[in-house]
Amino acid sequence: MDNDNRSKINKLLSSSPSGIVFTSSWLKEQGYSLDLQKRYRKSHWFKSIGSGAMIRTENNVGFEGAIFAMQNQLNTNFHPGGLTALSMLGKTHYLELGSSKVFLFAFAKEHLPTWFHQYDWGLDFSVSMTDFLPSDIGLVEFEVKNFKIKISGQARAMLECLYLSPKEHSLLECFELMEGLNNLRPKSVQELLEECTSVKAKRLFLYLAEKAGHSWLTYINFDKIDLGKGKRSLVKNGIYIPKYQITVPKELEEDDQAGI
């Protein structure tokens, strides 16, 4: 490898965090031609992980490094959300490292890159492409070793869990998660609930927050939140909650009734 190309690779490696994916399209935009990328792989600076993506040969790259590339190189809205985000934020013990499902969310018309499917991340993924929430609210920066990615903040992640319930998460599990969210910012919750288009998720969010007795709920303006019309039966043989027009599992209400 000539000095010029060696200088370019050194510049790339010194300016990029370790543990991330490099997409071929982004590298080309930065002045690294496809031919040069091929030479870097041949020289064992990089190794391919699928069509259109590479990692440093000595790096052990997790799915977070792929998310970094999707957010910062491909400009997509893919982000860890729901139960995964709550786990990353220390709000649940359900997600066990290396063994559980990772929940990713993105905008309705986006698609996971081919290379993401081709590489073995050692995890199972649930990917939801949906626009029930805007792509630019309720996200926070999360530091992974020496780089940062955007993940759902607590309130958005809770709404994402409820969006997937009861198929992916039972409502009893969701209530346990909600109980731990006692420090949400009312302003952020208000914005999310006003922008959310899932009536089910909004009704459940408010019902569970009320049941958990969170003080921040008193600052929420219900009049600005569209809770839709008509009843929502979420489970069979449940208990009907008139205030929110939802039917929930008996187990959620039996504890309250037993304490009367």
Tell me the pLDDT band of 260, cut-offs 50, 70 and 90. Answer: very low
In this prediction, residue 79 has a pLDDT band, given cuts at 50, 70 and 90, of very high
Give me the pLDDT at residue 55, please: 96
Would you state the pLDDT for residue 108? 86
Domain boundary among 56, 78, 94: 56
Find the mean pLDDT for residues 213-222: 97
End-to-end CA distance of the chain: 78
| Model confidence band, residue 26 (pLDDT cutoffs 50, 70, 90) | very high
Res. 5 pLDDT band, cuts 50 70 90? low
Q: Structural domain of residue 221, as residue ranges?
A: 63-258
In a shared domain, residues 134 and 245 = yes
Predicted local distance difference test score (pLDDT) of residue 3? 58
Closest to 145 in 3D by CA, of 210, 51, 64, 50: 64
Q: Which residues in 54-82 are b (16+ Cβ under 10 Å) and which e?
A: bbbeeeebbbbbbbbbbbbbbebbbbbbb
Q: Are residues 141 and 205 in the same domain?
A: yes
Of the listed ranges 55-59, 94-98, 165-169, 225-229, the least confidently predicted one is 94-98
Question: Same domain for 110 and 229?
Answer: yes
Both tokens of 164, joined, read 């997937």
Provide the number of structural domains found in the chain: 2
Query: Are 109 and 128 within 8 A, CB to CB?
Result: no
Helix 3-15 with 34-42: angle, nearest 10 deg: 90
Q: What is the pTM of this model?
A: 0.92
**Taking the CB of residue 14, how many other CB atoms lie within 10 A of it?**
7
